[in-house]
């Protein structure tokens, strides 16, 4: 759910015929010849192998679009999440930008002037249909450049069977988490609370906990406040009341990746952890009865969930503004948005598709995640500095909760990286 929904749903490289990454025009296109244009689209793979690769979705979408839009062809290249952002960056650097990219980050391209703003590509009805919280996260200097593609939110997952065996109820506060974890530990649960602060996706786990303590990466004005008093207190609590009491399992949080924690949950080895929709389905397939509640906060349930989004963008290089816009207007029709969300248990990013999902009983398992999305807090995607800050979090945050760690110093170090990155712009 970029890193978001990867972070989240990392796929392997699709086994597909490699499509050329350089511009291919079936006619003169922008030069004014036959009017035929070939759009290059590079997209991330949300699948876990060839059998559920995103390639099929994009090939089907391209074929349907071409049928309705004679004269425009769409060449699709799907790459794994571990490669796609780097490959697009290399293409742009080499002067071979795609026309459309569906990847994890947009801000650097927007700042460099490489992208069309949404207002120059999309029909008004398309642009206005994005959920406001996601649309806001896609803006640079007030203009929308990163078009939300799919989204996810996070809730606290707990194993109902383990909770019943320990005679405990779902937690609502930090104190509840600690006492529930102690009860689970007494019952021999391997990971009473799995706390993945390893390098895979600790920037997500970090934000969830910051929000639960009334903090966050930035303030309302968008300024980094990583080492705020609220954030420091949150990590002091994690250090003393979870890690320090031996309630986070046999692997130190700084060494525990999300994928490992999720796998342990599906095996019945985890009492509680923060999860997303895909984990719900995976766990239930393994016979785990899953309970879900908003992440507990210091005094009660956290009011805003963490949200994750990935992005679509249109590059200026080949001059195909109108054709890109036509394709994007088509891609964001409800049936197409919902088809992708359905395929990967993700959330739609438009108001109309969200309303349709909410009204459909077959999507009931996703309704709690869907209701959390409008008020969700996303990473500061619009900051070109975010990539550096995210890497610093992945590298350092695990040490904040070590027995001899110092949360104030660790958060201060990350805040210094943020300041330096901001000043370098």
The pLDDT of 343-368, averaged and rounded, is 93
The alpha carbon of residue 314 and the mean position of all alpha carbons in its chain are separated, in whole angstroms, by 20
Q: Which residues pair with 156 in a beta bridge?
A: 274, 293
Q: What is the dihedral of CA 410, 416, 419, 424, to 10 degrees?
A: -130
DSSP 183-229: HHHHTT-SEEE----STTTHHHHHHHHHHHTT--SB-TTS-B-TT-H
| Structure-token pair, residue 263 | 């796998």
* Shared domain check, 141 and 160: no
* Shared domain check, 176 and 113: no
* Shared domain check, 249 and 326: no
- pLDDT averaged over every residue in the chain: 90
The answer as to whether 142 is a domain residue is yes
User: Which CATH number goes with the domain that contains 275?
Assistant: 3.40.190.10
Contact 280, 120 (CB under 8 A): no
> What's the confidence (pLDDT) of residue 255?
96
Q: Which residues pair with 38 in a beta bridge?
A: 73
The answer as to whether 229 is a domain residue is yes
DSSP 20-57: PSS---SS-GGGSSS--EEEEEEEEE-SSSGGG-THHH
* 171: three-class secondary structure by DSSP: coil
The answer on pLDDT for 425 being more than 80 is: no
Q: What is the dihedral of CA 119, 123, 125, 130, to 10 degrees?
A: -50
* Shared domain check, 227 and 97: no
The answer as to whether 187 is a domain residue is yes
The pLDDT of 220-237, averaged and rounded, is 96
* Shared domain check, 289 and 270: yes
pLDDT digits (tens, 9 = 90+) for 83-130: 999 999 999 999 999 999 999 999 999 999 999 999 999 999 999 999
Q: Give CA–CA dist 400/104, Å, rounded.
A: 27
CA distances from 151 to 37, 177, 191 (A): 31, 27, 28
Element (H, E) at 78: strand 72-80
The answer on pLDDT for 303 being more than 60 is: yes
* Shared domain check, 235 and 216: yes
**Tally of domains within the chain:** 2
Q: Give CA–CA dist 301/295, Å, rounded.
A: 6
Boundary of a domain, candidates 293, 321, 340: 293
* Shared domain check, 329 and 219: no
- Model confidence, pTM: 0.82
| Structure-token pair, residue 406 | 């110092």
The answer as to whether 382 is a domain residue is no
The answer as to whether 301 is a domain residue is no
CA terminus-to-terminus distance, the chain: 27
* Shared domain check, 176 and 42: no
The pLDDT of 242-258, averaged and rounded, is 97
* Shared domain check, 195 and 128: no
* Shared domain check, 13 and 141: yes
| Boundaries of domain holding 23 | 3-152+308-372
* Shared domain check, 198 and 97: no
Element (H, E) at 72: strand 72-80
- What are the strands of the beta sheet with 290-293, ordered from one edge? 191-193, 270-275, 155-159, 290-293
The answer as to whether 363 is a domain residue is yes
Contact 227, 412 (CB under 8 A): yes
């Amino acid at each position: 759910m970029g890193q978001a929904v990867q972070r989240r749903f990392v796929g392997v490289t699709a086994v597909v015929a490699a499509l050329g990454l350089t511009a291919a025009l079936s006619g003169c296109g922008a030069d004014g010849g036959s009017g035929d244009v070939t759009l290059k689209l590079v997209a991330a793979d949300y699948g876990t192998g060839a059998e559920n690769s995103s390639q099929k979705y994009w090939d089907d979408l391209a074929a349907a679009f071409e049928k309705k839009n004679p004269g425009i062809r769409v060449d699709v290249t799907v790459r794994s999440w571990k490669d796609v952002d780097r490959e697009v960056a290399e293409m742009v650097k080499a002067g071979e930008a795609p026309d459309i990219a569906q990847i994890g980050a947009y801000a650097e391209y927007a700042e460099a002037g490489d992208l069309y703003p949404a207002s120059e590509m999309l029909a008004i009805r398309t642009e206005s249909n994005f959920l406001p919280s996601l649309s806001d996260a896609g803006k640079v200097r007030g203009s929308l450049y990163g078009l939300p593609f799919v989204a996810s939110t996070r809730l606290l997952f707990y194993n109902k069977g383990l909770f019943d065996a320990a005679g405990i109820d779902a937690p609502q506060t930090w104190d509840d988490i600690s006492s529930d974890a102690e009860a689970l530990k007494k019952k021999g649960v391997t990971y009473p609370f799995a706390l993945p602060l390893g390098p895979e996706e600790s920037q997500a786990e970090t934000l969830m906990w910051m929000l639960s303590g009334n903090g966050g990466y930035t303030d309302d004005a968008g300024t980094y406040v990583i080492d705020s008093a609220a954030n420091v207190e949150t990590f002091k609590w994690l250090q003393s009341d979870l890690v320090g009491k031996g309630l986070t399992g046999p692997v130190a949080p700084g060494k525990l990746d999300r994928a490992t924690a999720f796998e342990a949950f599906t095996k019945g080895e985890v009492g509680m952890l923060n999860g997303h929709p895909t984990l719900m389905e995976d766990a239930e397939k393994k016979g785990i009865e899953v309970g879900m509640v908003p992440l507990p906060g210091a005094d009660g349930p956290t009011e805003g969930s963490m949200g994750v989004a990935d992005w679509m963008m249109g590059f200026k290089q080949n001059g195909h503004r109108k054709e890109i816009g036509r394709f994007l207007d088509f891609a964001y029709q409800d049936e197409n948005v919902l088809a992708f969300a359905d395929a990967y248990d993700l959330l739609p990013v438009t108001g109309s598709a969200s309303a349709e999902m909410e009204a459909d009983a077959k999507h009931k398992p996703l309704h709690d995640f869907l209701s959390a999305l409008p008020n969700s807090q996303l990473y500061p995607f619009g900051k070109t500095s975010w990539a550096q800050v995210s890497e610093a979090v992945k590298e350092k945050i695990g040490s904040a909760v070590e027995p001899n760690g110092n949360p104030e110093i660790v958060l201060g170090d990350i805040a210094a990286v943020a300041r330096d990155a901001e000043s370098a712009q």
